[in-house]
Structure 1
């Protein structure tokens, strides 16, 4: 059967688990069309959250991860995201990523970022420090603390295979207006 004639299953992203669930006909959540026998969707797993000292902004390629009332088109001239390989990708929207383990605001949607097996969120060390957070890197782990209180708001581990620090959790306070 050609792909265009396959029946379509409507899915919604559950913001608490980052799993795709069948979309009820009345639910207003973002939806994704997928063939019914497509197997495991790359975005059905919790996102991998990378702490990046070279990133100028928080970013994800997965629009379905963005939530909250701040989801809107990216401001004109808000910039581009430069990948590790030097590719320049434009930001098209901005919002929050909110899951049980992660709360990060001002995350830009950058189509083409994280084209692998799982959704990826890149967390900018620069953005965290501008919010009054301190980031410490060790030989095998990292942590994120509130500079004012010393409270631990995030932790992560180094993965030797790619040299990135992947966060286990991160709860960033909402920036003050």
Structure 2
């Protein structure tokens, strides 16, 4: 199974190539007030060059009463077939509650992939809770490794790791 460093190398190469390419770029910003102390803001950017493309967006909404939410996302595509997508959202409520979610999906030019999703929440009643799950798949063998971590005030910390071959049968996870 390929290491995560090869997938993150793809991300670095994509971002470097995009930064140095002769690129076409576009951007749009929209800001609106709601008249009650809140409002919204949106930013959308798009860049395209010889070596790939980048799309990025952000949005923020607040009601002026202590409730707010924000989302953001980015998508990178390389001319070699590699890609990266990242999405995140956060919100807060007037009672002090917080919530957040993040996801990351990356595919290398040879097809190996990484998918990671997670979230957190906080409330005065239940405290902090977090979870994260990650799957890495090797395109050559089809083998995959799934790992998960979760935490809650009542349940404590738990972790799990499992590996599968291309047919979905459980296999021993390789040592690092």
Which is greater in Rg?
2
- Under a length normalisation based on structure 1, what TM-score does the superposition of the two structures give? 0.21
Asked which structure has the greater RCO (Cα within 8 Å, sep 6+), the reply is: 1
More strand by share: 2
